[in-house]
Amino acid sequence: MKAHLVVMSDSHGYDEAVEQILKENPAADAYIHCGDLSSPDDLFPQLILVKGNNDYYTKAPYERVLLLGGMRIYLCHSHKLYGYPARHALARRAKELKCPLALYGHTHRFDDSEALGVRLVNPGSCWYNRDMSDPCYAVVDIEDGKIKVTRKTLQMR
């Protein structure tokens, strides 16, 4: 089984960035937003999203489990997870839910790493990255249980 996912986060009402990402990736199996969309849900009905700490307009849950490409995927914004180090709190929650992949936001930093046997992917912010890198998002390809992550820089037109 396989899936081609477009993952974004922390757009903070910068709807033009979300629109551009959707336009640049017309063939995705799913469009995922890891929180802080900060726009009304009905503006982007194609997004699978979770609620972030700046989402006042959404009825989305704070976390969800998706089944895509034959893989269970944990999705959250991560601001509600506490523990040290924070990555381990995220990985522990994903493991509890039997998810080998966790997609998360909140930090405004791209991350593709592993903790406690869980692949952790933060697409960074499509608005503003705190490490001063260009705004970005991620493309996640799942095939036969293998995960490939590609960072995509967002060049606003």
Over residues 112-128, the pLDDT tens digits come to 999 999 999 999 999 99
Count CB neighbours of 54 within 10 A.
16
Distance of CA 110 to the CA centre of its chain: 10
Average the pLDDT over 26-44 and give the result: 96
Which two three-digit tokens encode residue 5? 């996912």
pLDDT higher than 90, residue 143: yes
Cα–Cα distance, 115 to 15 (Å, whole number): 32
pLDDT average, residue stretch 63-70:
98
Q: Is the pLDDT of residue 7 over 80?
A: yes
Give how many domains the chain has, as a whole number. 1
Domain that holds residue 40: 2-153
Residue type, 65: V
Is the per-residue pLDDT at 157 higher than 80?
Answer: no
**Would you state the pLDDT for residue 136?**
98
The CA-CA-CA angle for residues 78, 137, 49, to 5°, reads 50
Over residues 82-106, the mean pLDDT reads 91
Higher pLDDT, 139 or 84: 139
Pairing type for strands 101-103 and 71-76 reads parallel
Residue 84 binned pLDDT confidence (cut-offs 50, 70, 90):
low
Task: List the CATH number of the domain containing 133.
Answer: 3.60.21.10
pLDDT band, residue 82 (cuts 50/70/90): confident
